[in-house]
C-alpha cells in the first residue's frame, strides 16, 4: 500500500520539480538577458562620453568630426578675411563719397559735423545763399567733382533735384505788438528743377515765389537728388566693380525757430547691378576661383552639419534607452541634469554655425557675381558663424584640466550671475530714467535713453568720469547739486558694491570647481551607473582607457593634466 502510494506520488513530484526547474531556468535566462542589455547599454554610454582620441584607441574609430572642424576653421577664417577686405572697400567708398558730397553741396562746411548735424546758419541771407549754393553745385557737378559720379534719375525717371518746403498754413506776426498768430496745420510745397531749368538764367528760378520764405512760419526746406557712381578701386583687388546710387537729402531744419537753422546732410547709398560691364584681364578668372572656394566651404559645412546632426539623433536614441532601462530597474525617473548630459551643446553650436556659414556663403557668392548687394546681412552671418567656430575650439581645449576650468566656471556661475543681473538691472534702469529726465536738458550724454545707458555703463567701467562731471551745465544750482548726488551715488553703488558682488559670484564658482577637481565631483545617477561593474573581470578593466574617460568626474589619477568632458 505504501509502495503504491509512493508509486502514485512519484509522477506528481517529478511534474512539480520540472515546473520549478523550468521557472528557475526562465528567470535565469531573463536575468541573463537583462544583464546583457545592461552591460550593452553601459558600454554604449561609456563610448558616447569619450573624447575623439579615446574613441579611436577604444574602437579605432577615425575622428572625422574633429578633422572636419579643424579644416572648417581654416576655411571659414580665410573666407571671412577675404570678404572683410572687400567689405572695407565698400564702406570706405560710401563714407568718402558722403564727405565729398558735404564739401560739394554745403556752403561753408568745415569738415567736422556740429553734433548730429553738419553745419548751421543764423541769418536769412546765409539761409538763402546756402539753398542756392546747393542747387548751383548740383548744376555744375560734372565740372567740379573729382569722383566717378554723375546724375541719377528720380522716381519719375527724370534727372534733376526736388526742393520742398514745410510751413504752417497761415500765420501773421506783429513784433511791435508782441503778438503772433499761427494756424497749426502744416503745408508742403515742392518744386522740381531739372537740368534744362537750371541751365537757363539763374535769376529766373531764384526770383520765383517759391523761394520767398517766411521764416516765422517755415519749418524746414528739403533738397533731394540722386547721383550715380562706380567704385573702381575693387579692380585693384581683382574684383568686379560696384555701381552705386546715392540718394542725397539736404535738410534746413527751422522747427525750433530759435534763430538757428540746422543743416543736415544724409546720403543713402545703394549698390545696384552694373549694366554693360566690360572688363578684360584677370578679374574674371579671380572671380571664378573665389566662387569655387566658397562652394568648397559650403560642402565642408554641409558635411559638418550632417555629422553633428547624426550625433545628436544617436544621442537622443541612447538617452531614450537609458531612461527606459532606469525606470524599469530602479522604478524612478532620471534627474533633469542627467538627461541634459546627452544633449551635447557643442554640437548645437556647430550646427548653428554651419547653417549661418552656408547661408552667408551663398549670399557672398551672389554678391561676388553682383546679383545681390546686401553686404550687411552677409557680414553678420559670416562674422557670427566665425565667432561660433572659434568659440567651439574651447571644446577641445576643455579636455585638459587647466583649460577646462574656464568652461566649468562659466557653467556653474551662469545661473547665479543671470539672477544677480536681473536684480541689478532694475536699479540700473531706475538710474537711467532718472538721469534722462533730470539731466537730459543740461548734459549731452543724457539727452536720450540709449546715450544715458551708454554713459552709465562707461562709468561702471571707470571710463570718462571727469568729463561726465565737468560737462554738467551750472545754469541751475539745484540741478547741479542733484547731478553730484546722482553720479556719486551711482558710481559708489555699482563699482564698490554691485560690481564687487558680481565678481564674488564668479570667484565663488571658481573656488568650488577647484575643490571639486582636487577632491572629486559629486556623483550623479548617470555616473553611478557607469561606475558599476557586473563582474570582477569588468572591474579590472575600469582602469583601462575605455573606462578612464567617461566624464569630467572620471579621470586617471596618474594624469592630472587631463580632464575628460563630453
* 156 in the same domain as 69: no
Under 8 Å between Cβ of 157 and 151:
no
Q: Return the pLDDT at 83.
A: 86
Please, which residues have CB within 8 angstroms of residue 554's CB and are 6 or more apart in sequence?
527, 530, 531, 547, 548, 564
CA-CA distance, 282 to 306, in Å (whole number)? 37
Question: Is 197 among the domain residues?
Answer: yes
CA-CA distance, 305 to 314, in Å (whole number)? 14
* 237 in the same domain as 114: yes
* 390 in the same domain as 457: no
CA-CA distance, 190 to 163, in Å (whole number)? 6
Q: Return the pLDDT at 284.
A: 58
Question: Is 99 among the domain residues?
Answer: no
Q: Which of 405, 403, 400, 408 is nearest to 561 (CA)?
A: 400
Question: Is 387 among the domain residues?
Answer: yes
End-to-end Cα separation, the chain, in angstroms:
76
* 305 in the same domain as 380: yes
pLDDT in tens, 295-319: 999 999 999 899 888 888 888 888 8
Question: Is 98 among the domain residues?
Answer: no
* 386 in the same domain as 289: yes
DSSP lists the bridge partners of residue 121 as 261
Q: Return the pLDDT at 443.
A: 87
* 298 in the same domain as 330: yes
CA-CA distance, 232 to 216, in Å (whole number)? 47
pLDDT in tens, 369-394: 777 777 788 889 999 999 999 888 87
Name the H helices within 106-194: 124-139, 141-144
- For the beta carbon of residue 527, count every other beta carbon within 10 angstroms: 19
Under 8 Å between Cβ of 301 and 358:
yes
CA-CA distance, 35 to 43, in Å (whole number)? 12
Q: What are phi and psi of 164, to 5 degrees?
A: -125, 145
Q: Return the pLDDT at 357.
A: 93
CA-CA distance, 265 to 102, in Å (whole number)? 7
Provide DSSP, 252-273. EE-TT-SS-EEEEEEEEEEEEP
Q: Return the pLDDT at 10.
A: 42
CA-CA distance, 449 to 440, in Å (whole number)? 9
- For the beta carbon of residue 5, count every other beta carbon within 10 angstroms: 9
Name the H helices within 111-220: 124-139, 141-144, 195-199, 202-206
* 425 in the same domain as 386: no
- Predicted TM-score (pTM) of this structure: 0.70
* 498 in the same domain as 478: yes
Question: Is 496 among the domain residues?
Answer: yes
CA-CA distance, 323 to 338, in Å (whole number)? 10
Which residue range is the domain that position 212 belongs to?
106-279
Under 8 Å between Cβ of 244 and 230:
yes
Residue count of the chain:
566
Question: Is 55 among the domain residues?
Answer: no
Buried-exposed string 314-350: b where 16+ CB fall within 10 A, e elsewhere: ebeebbeebeebbeeeeeeebeeebeebbebebbebb
Under 8 Å between Cβ of 250 and 157:
no
Q: How many domains in the chain? A: 3
Please, which residues have CB within 8 angstroms of residue 150's CB and are 6 or more apart in sequence?
141, 142, 227, 228, 229
All three cell numbers of 86: 572687400
Q: Return the pLDDT at 112.
A: 83
Q: Which of 483, 471, 502, 504 is nearest to 431 (CA)?
A: 483
Under 8 Å between Cβ of 346 and 395:
yes
Asked which of 356, 380, 399 is the last residue of a domain, the reply is 399
Q: Return the pLDDT at 281.
A: 56
Question: Is 481 among the domain residues?
Answer: yes
Q: Which of 196, 225, 190, 193 is nearest to 206 (CA)?
A: 193
* 357 in the same domain as 442: no
Per-residue pLDDT of the chain (566 residues; tens, 9 = 90+): 444 444 444 444 455 555 555 555 555 555 556 667 667 777 777 777 776 777 767 777 777 777 888 889 999 999 988 888 888 888 888 888 889 999 999 988 888 888 778 888 999 999 999 998 998 888 888 888 888 888 888 777 778 888 999 988 876 666 655 666 777 788 888 888 888 878 777 677 777 888 888 888 888 999 999 998 888 777 766 677 778 889 999 999 998 888 899 999 998 888 877 776 666 655 556 777 888 899 999 999 999 899 888 888 888 888 888 777 777 776 777 776 667 777 778 888 889 999 999 999 999 888 877 777 777 888 899 999 999 998 888 777 777 766 777 778 887 888 888 899 999 999 999 999 999 999 888 888 898 899 999 999 989 888 888 888 888 877 788 888 998 999 999 999 998 899 888 889 888 888 888 877 777 666 666 666 666 654 434 444 443 333 333 333 333 333 333 333 33
Please, which residues have CB within 8 angstroms of residue 226's CB and are 6 or more apart in sequence?
151, 152, 153, 154, 245, 246, 247, 248
Q: Return the pLDDT at 555.
A: 36
CA-CA distance, 459 to 438, in Å (whole number)? 18
DSSP lists the bridge partners of residue 227 as 151, 246
* 411 in the same domain as 390: no
Q: Return the pLDDT at 362.
A: 92
* 261 in the same domain as 381: no
* 349 in the same domain as 366: yes
Question: Is 130 among the domain residues?
Answer: yes
Amino acid at each position: 500500500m505504501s509502495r503504491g502510494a509512493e508509486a502514485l506520488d512519484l509522477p506528481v513530484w517529478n511534474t512539480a520539480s520540472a515546473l520549478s526547474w523550468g521557472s528557475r531556468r526562465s528567470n535565469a535566462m531573463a536575468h541573463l538577458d537583462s544583464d546583457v542589455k545592461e552591460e550593452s547599454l553601459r558600454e554604449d554610454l561609456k563610448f558616447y562620453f569619450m573624447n575623439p582620441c579615446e574613441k579611436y584607441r577604444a574602437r579605432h574609430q577615425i575622428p572625422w568630426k574633429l578633422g572636419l572642424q579643424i579644416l572648417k576653421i581654416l576655411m571659414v577664417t580665410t573666407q571671412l578675411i577675404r570678404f572683410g577686405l572687400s567689405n572695407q572697400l565698400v564702406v570706405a567708398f560710401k563714407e568718402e563719397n558722403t564727405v565729398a558730397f558735404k564739401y560739394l553741396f554745403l556752403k561753408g562746411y568745415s569738415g567736422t559735423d556740429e553734433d548730429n548735424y553738419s553745419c548751421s546758419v543764423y541769418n536769412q541771407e546765409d539761409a538763402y545763399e546756402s539753398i542756392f549754393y546747393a542747387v548751383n553745385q548740383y548744376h555744375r557737378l560734372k565740372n567740379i567733382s573729382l569722383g566717378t559720379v554723375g546724375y541719377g534719375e528720380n522716381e519719375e525717371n527724370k534727372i534733376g533735384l526736388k526742393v520742398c518746403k514745410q510751413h504752417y498754413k497761415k500765420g501773421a506776426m506783429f513784433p511791435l505788438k508782441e503778438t503772433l498768430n499761427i494756424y497749426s496745420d502744416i503745408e508742403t510745397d515742392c518744386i522740381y528743377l531739372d537740368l534744362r531749368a537750371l541751365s537757363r538764367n539763374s535769376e529766373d528760378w531764384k526770383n520765383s515765389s517759391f523761394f520767398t520764405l517766411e521764416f516765422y512760419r517755415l519749418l524746414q526746406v528739403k533738397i533731394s537728388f540722386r547721383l550715380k557712381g562706380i567704385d573702381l578701386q575693387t579692380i585693384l583687388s581683382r574684383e568686379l566693380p560696384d555701381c552705386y546710387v546715392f540718394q542725397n537729402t539736404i535738410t534746413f531744419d527751422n522747427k525750433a525757430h530759435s534763430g538757428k537753422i540746422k543743416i543736415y546732410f544724409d546720403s543713402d547709398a545703394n549698390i545696384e547691378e552694373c549694366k554693360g560691364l566690360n572688363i578684360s584681364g584677370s578679374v574674371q578668372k579671380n572671380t571664378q576661383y573665389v566662387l569655387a572656394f566658397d562652394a568648397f566651404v559650403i560642402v565642408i559645412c554641409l558635411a559638418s552639419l550632417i555629422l553633428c546632426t547624426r550625433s545628436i539623433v544617436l544621442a537622443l536614441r541612447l538617452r531614450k534607452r537609458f531612461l527606459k532601462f532606469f525606470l524599469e530597474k530602479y522604478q524612478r525617473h532620471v534627474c533633469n541634469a542627467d538627461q541634459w548630459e546627452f544633449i551635447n551643446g557643442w554640437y548645437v553650436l556647430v550646427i548653428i554655425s554651419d547653417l549661418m556659414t552656408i547661408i552667408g556663403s551663398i549670399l557672398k557668392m551672389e554678391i561676388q557675381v553682383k546679383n545681390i548687394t546686401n553686404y550687411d546681412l552677409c557680414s553678420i552671418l559670416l562674422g557670427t558663424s566665425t565667432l561660433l567656430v572659434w568659440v567651439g575650439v574651447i571644446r577641445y581645449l576643455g579636455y585638459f584640466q587647466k583649460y577646462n576650468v574656464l568652461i566649468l566656471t562659466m557653467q556653474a556661475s551662469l545661473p547665479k550671475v543671470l539672477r544677480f543681473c536681473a536684480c541689478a538691472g532694475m536699479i540700473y534702469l531706475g538710474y537711467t530714467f532718472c538721469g534722462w529726465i533730470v539731466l537730459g536738458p543740461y548734459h549731452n550724454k543724457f539727452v536720450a535713453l540709449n546715450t544715458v545707458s551708454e554713459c552709465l555703463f562707461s562709468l561702471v567701467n571707470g571710463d570718462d568720469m571727469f568729463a561726465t562731471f565737468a560737462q554738467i551745465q551750472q545754469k541751475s544750482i539745484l540741478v547741479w547739486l542733484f547731478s553730484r548726488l546722482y553720479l556719486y551715488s551711482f558710481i559708489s553703488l555699482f563699482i564698490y558694491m554691485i560690481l564687487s558682488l558680481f565678481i564674488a559670484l564668479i570667484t565663488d564658482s571658481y573656488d568650488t570647481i577647484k575643490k571639486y577637481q582636487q577632491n572629486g565631483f559629486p556623483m550623479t545617477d548617470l555616473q553611478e551607473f557607469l561606475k558599476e561593474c557586473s563582474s570582477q573581470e569588468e572591474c579590472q578593466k575600469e582602469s583601462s582607457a575605455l573606462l578612464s574617460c567617461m566624464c569630467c568626474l572620471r579621470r586617471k589619477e596618474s594624469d592630472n593634466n587631463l580632464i575628460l568632458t563630453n
